[in-house]
């Protein structure tokens, strides 16, 4: 990442890494704002987990249906959850599902994409074919079938992550595949081949480092998709019902007719929390796209 500045030779001081990163973030606004929002959310949950008893996020731990007050800043719900504690724990669980499913999905995608593009032939045809056939199928609906087939008591945060990841590797596979395809025709790969480097050496020493920006972008995209999918499943009533997952809270507020009964604060807190989470991830995603794909850089 070269920053084009023309310092006067007399006072040329090497800039520190931090300044360089900060300068880049000022240019790449969406990445900067997204990361700042995400940092805020991470601070909220970590400090929250330090100062709040996670048990308050579960039913019957607080008086029911209290509007926001000094004691309960976000109010309490019909089942007696302290919604502030529920937000802290719910965001932590959402992050857990997102990062877990995102990491596994990206890993699978990278491995499959590499195998597909590097070895080609019928392996490539098979992997690409499966991806193409599965892509038009609305993923959420298949997830509904999987989640619906599970015993409701057995559904946990980890099952949610697992359900989400089952159908989330196709996107990264296709992205990484196309990148590897174009990269393996580059000269530095031919040079490495001619100098007698093995397949694994080329993959790990030559191609993988060049793919890192794409892998990072795919990872953030996968985290976004996983958070989104688990949220939709929970809003449909398929989440682990006891957990204070953000989608679950909206689902139960809606099924108890929160707005009809005047308990407006109940669905509002999780909705705003989710807006912040998805918004920050979307901004980071856009920023990383710009970083990974310099051609769209500064297109405005």
CB atoms within 10 A of CB 24: 15
Compute the distance between CA of residue 231 and CA of residue 226 in angstroms, rounded to an integer: 8
**8-state DSSP, 214:** H
| Region binding other proteins by CB under 8 A among candidate stretches 77-85, 116-124, 172-180, 292-300 | 292-300
Residue among 12, 36, 191, 275 that touches other proteins (CB under 8 A): 275
Interface map 197-236 toward other proteins (x if CB under 8 A) = -------------------------------x--xx--xx
Compute the distance between CA of residue 11 and CA of residue 76 in angstroms, rounded to an integer: 60
Give residue for tokens 């595949």: 177
Total residues at interface with other proteins (CB under 8 A): 42
Name the H helices within the chain.
Answer: 17-27, 29-51, 83-119, 121-134, 139-149, 157-166, 170-183, 187-194, 199-201, 208-235, 246-255, 265-292
Q: Does 144 bind other proteins (CB under 8 A)?
A: yes
59 or 237: CB nearest other proteins: 237
| Region binding other proteins by CB under 8 A among candidate stretches 60-68, 139-147, 202-210, 213-221 | 139-147
Q: Does 151 bind other proteins (CB under 8 A)?
A: yes
| Residue 13 C-beta: closest distance to other proteins, Å | 37
Residue among 41, 139, 207, 218 that touches other proteins (CB under 8 A): 139
Q: Does 153 bind other proteins (CB under 8 A)?
A: no
| Region binding other proteins by CB under 8 A among candidate stretches 4-12, 15-23, 204-212, 267-275 | 267-275
| Region binding other proteins by CB under 8 A among candidate stretches 1-9, 71-79, 86-94, 265-273 | 265-273
Compute the distance between CA of residue 135 and CA of residue 17 in angstroms, rounded to an integer: 41
CA 78 to chain centre: 30
Secondary structure (H, E, C), 126-137? HHHHHHHHHCCC
Q: Does 101 bind other proteins (CB under 8 A)?
A: no
21 or 133: CB nearest other proteins: 133
Q: Does 241 bind other proteins (CB under 8 A)?
A: no
| Region binding other proteins by CB under 8 A among candidate stretches 100-108, 196-204, 207-215, 264-272 | 264-272
The backbone region for 186, taken as left when phi is positive above 0, alpha when psi lies in -120 to 50, beta otherwise, is beta
Contacts of 198 (CB under 8 A, 6+ apart): none
The backbone region for 199, taken as left when phi is positive above 0, alpha when psi lies in -120 to 50, beta otherwise, is alpha
Give residue for tokens 């809003």: 235
Residue among 155, 274, 288, 292 that touches other proteins (CB under 8 A): 274
- φ, ψ (nearest 5 deg) of residue 238: -110, 5
Q: Does 259 bind other proteins (CB under 8 A)?
A: yes
Residue numbers of the site for other proteins (CB under 8 A)? 133-134, 136-142, 144-146, 148-151, 228, 231-232, 235-238, 250, 254, 259-260, 264, 267-268, 271, 274-275, 278-283, 296, 299-300
């Amino acid at each position: 990442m070269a920053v084009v500045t023309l310092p006067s030779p007399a006072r040329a001081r090497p800039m520190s890494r931090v300044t360089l990163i900060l300068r880049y973030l000022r240019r790449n606004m969406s990445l900067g704002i997204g990361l700042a929002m995400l940092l805020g959310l991470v601070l909220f949950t970590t400090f929250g987990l330090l100062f709040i008893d996670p048990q308050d996020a579960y039913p019957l731990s607080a008086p029911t249906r209290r509007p926001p007050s000094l004691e309960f800043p976000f109010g309490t719900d019909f089942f007696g959850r302290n919604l502030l504690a529920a937000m802290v724990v719910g965001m932590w669980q959402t992050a857990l599902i997102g990062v877990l499913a995102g990491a596994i999905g990206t890993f699978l995608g990278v491995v499959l994409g590499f195998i597909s593009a590097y070895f080609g032939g019928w392996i490539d045809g098979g992997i690409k074919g499966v991806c193409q056939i599965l892509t038009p199928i609305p993923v959420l609906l298949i997830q509904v079938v999987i989640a619906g087939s599970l015993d409701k008591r057995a559904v946990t945060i980890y099952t949610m992550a697992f359900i989400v990841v089952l159908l989330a590797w196709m996107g990264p596979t296709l992205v990484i595949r196309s990148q590897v395809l174009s990269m393996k025709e580059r000269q530095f790969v031919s040079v490495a081949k001619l100098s007698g480097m093995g397949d694994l050496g080329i993959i790990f020493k030559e191609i993988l480092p060049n793919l890192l920006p794409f892998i990072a972008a795919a990872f953030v995209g996968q985290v976004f998709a996983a958070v989104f999918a688990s949220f939709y499943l929970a809003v449909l009533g398929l989440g682990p019902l006891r957990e204070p997952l953000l989608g679950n809270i909206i689902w139960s507020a809606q099924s108890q007719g929160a707005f009809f009964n005047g308990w407006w604060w109940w669905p509002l807190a999780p909705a705003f929390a989710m807006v912040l989470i998805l918004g920050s991830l979307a901004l980071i995603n856009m920023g990383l796209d710009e970083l990974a794909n310099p051609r769209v850089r500064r297109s405005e």
